[in-house]
Structure 1
Amino acid sequence: MSEPALLALRGASFGYEDGPAVLDGLDFEVREGRALALLGRNGSGKTTLMRLLSGGLRPEGGQLTVRGEPVTYGRKGLTRLRTTVQAVVQDPDDQLFAASVAQDVSFGPLNLGLPDAEARLRVAEALAALDITALADRPTHLLSYGQRKRAAIAGAVAMRPRVLILDEPTAGLDPDGQERLLATLDRLRAGGTTVVMATHDVDLALRWADDAALLTPDGVRTGPAAALLARTDLLSRAGLRLPWGVAAARLLRARGLLPDTAPGPRTAEELAAVVPGLPLSP
């Protein structure tokens, strides 16, 4: 018998007041150690799904489970859930509120009732993990956008969650900021954190994720990212385009430059390795 999913929704339904159901009878799993990209058009239910997974919303039907155990929505049950799952919203200004970075990052651990020494240790670890130790005493309103993103994620990391859910974490970042954030997420994953990322960027999803979940009007389809993001029928129903890496792989195979069994390129560097001499920039 297989081990239960780290986090799962079973038969979950939810709709907002005076509106149609956003999700209806949804089955969804987050498997431990698998980087998961969540994709879909605006209004497809991504934000609602993330809030259900993190306990911000309670399903009207069905249930949320952690390792097969149903989540309860009293104070004790939600506290237990939030030590397992943390979500970071797209706009860091919706999440940062304390005077300094260290004070903001310390809010969650202190709210758990941890001793000051333990809270300080968690803050130091989270700041180091996000490479913002030097910003500990910086007022949050003086941070750059990328620094505010990192500070918001550090606040979640200080809770030491098993699952970290991020809503469009690379949105608004310049290319260098995106690369630094992805390197940070790789370090968190190496440390045992399972990361779920909602994104509109199919190229990023193909490059970064082990698995992808496409939200379509017919429900959600989940599977290995490389296979799922090559399904033009599903991408169309999800309002997404074909990733350039998939299109490049098809062209390379048609020209006999890439064996059928070889994985396609996900970055410019991987494309250049397949086609020697190909310039990486104009």
Structure 2
Amino acid sequence: MSEPVPLALRGASFAYEDGPVVLDGLDFEVRAGRALALLGRNGSGKTTLLRLLSGGLRPDAGRLTVDGEPVTYGRAGLTRLRTTVQLVVQDPDDQLFAASVAQDVSFGPLNLGLPDPEVRARVGEALAALDIASLADRPTHLLSYGQRKRAAIAGAVAMRPRVLILDEPTAGLDPDGQERLLATLDGLRAAGTTVVLATHDVDLALRWADDAALLTPEGAHTGPAAVTLARPDLLRRAGLRLPWGVAVAGLLRAQGLLAETAPGPRTAEELAAVVGPPGTA
């Protein structure tokens, strides 16, 4: 039996008004339960693709499907889509607008017409999932950048989507903030949310994702992250470099320090586990 495909674009093309074609005849699938990293050079169409997947843009040709059923772009169809898919944009200030964190997070569930007890429950769950429950009454304009990122994601999580899409979520965060956010995303994945993350960071993609999708001029190439991100030909066409972990694994295998079938290190800590900490050789 094939894996479920809750969200897919089939033969999708899109061009902005008076602009060139951004995507042409694209087939793209988001598989349930898989963490997917979307990568490509600037101008490759990553943000356009994310907006097509979330219903913010409508393809000029082709179709968007949810569970195999074409999405309609009237009010009912988009409401159904947005209870399945939520997009968090790169800049949280483009998404936050309410006076307090709790008010902002409650906006989506309120728009669904849910009763107040259900809205409160969803807000509480979302704030807890993002580890910002203590910020519920904090004015959004007094949040740090990392807190604003978390508040924006909480607003999407409160909709209880099956697919959560994030555009460059780690951009602008310090290393500790990145680690905390990735841990939060892992928690959401463990709770059953399928996560799609657009990034320029090939090292992050190799470490975090199950699958990687590379946007090239010829279309999207999707496969297991460890395999896809080890293909220099695809990376070159996507305008990306070889991940650190892939390069290090090649050196370790050449020196006989790593078996051909063993996975390569993705972090400095995993490298130390293979060769030992500095000064032990």
Q: How high is the TM-score relative to the length of structure 2? A: 0.98
Question: Whole-Å Cα distance in 2 between the matches of residues 256 and 275 of structure 1?
Answer: 11
Partner of 1:2: 2
Question: Whole-Å Cα distance in 1 between the matches of residues 171 and 270 of structure 2?
Answer: 24
Question: Whole-Å Cα distance in 1 between the matches of residues 19 and 174 of structure 2?
Answer: 37
| Structure 1 gap ranges (5+) | none
Partner of 2:141: 141
Q: What CA deviation, in whole Å up to 9, does each residue of 1:150-203 have, x standing for no partner?
A: 000000000000000000000000010000000000000000000000000000
Q: Identity of aligned pairs, percent?
A: 87
Superposition pairs for residues 87-98 of structure 1, below 5 Å?
A: 87-98=87-98
Superposition pairs for residues 60-139 of structure 1, below 5 Å?
A: 60-139=60-139
Tell whether the 8 Å contact from 1:86 to 1:156 is kept in structure 2 after alignment.
yes
Partner of 1:257: 257
Tell whether the 8 Å contact from 1:4 to 1:68 is kept in structure 2 after alignment.
no
Partner of 2:242: 242
Q: What CA deviation, in whole Å up to 9, does each residue of 1:101-133 have, x standing for no partner?
A: 000000000000000110000000000000000
Tell whether the 8 Å contact from 2:3 to 2:32 is kept in structure 1 after alignment.
no
Partner of 1:172: 172
Tell whether the 8 Å contact from 2:33 to 2:192 is kept in structure 1 after alignment.
yes
Question: Whole-Å Cα distance in 2 between the matches of residues 162 and 256 of structure 1?
Answer: 43
Partner of 2:193: 193
SS of residue in 2 equivalent to 1:9: strand
SS of residue in 1 equivalent to 2:79: helix
Tell whether the 8 Å contact from 2:10 to 2:63 is kept in structure 1 after alignment.
yes
CA drift of 1:276 comes to 1.5
SS of residue in 2 equivalent to 1:278: coil
Q: What CA deviation, in whole Å up to 9, does each residue of 1:191-248 have, x standing for no partner?
A: 0000000000000000000000000111110000000001111111111111000000
Tell whether the 8 Å contact from 1:106 to 1:123 is kept in structure 2 after alignment.
yes
AA in 2 matched with 1:50? L
Partner of 1:150: 150
Equivalent pairs counted in the alignment come to 280
Question: Whole-Å Cα distance in 1 between the matches of residues 58 and 171 of structure 2?
Answer: 27
Question: Whole-Å Cα distance in 2 between the matches of residues 277 and 18 of structure 1?
Answer: 56
Partner of 1:162: 162
Deviating runs (4+, > 3 A) in structure 1?
A: none
Partner of 2:205: 205
Question: Whole-Å Cα distance in 1 between the matches of residues 120 and 133 of structure 2?
Answer: 12
Question: Whole-Å Cα distance in 2 between the matches of residues 220 and 129 of structure 1?
Answer: 32
Question: Whole-Å Cα distance in 1 between the matches of residues 128 and 180 of structure 2?
Answer: 13
**Alignment of 1:214 onto 2:218:** no
AA in 1 matched with 2:191? G
| Structure 2 gap ranges (5+) | none
Partner of 1:268: 268
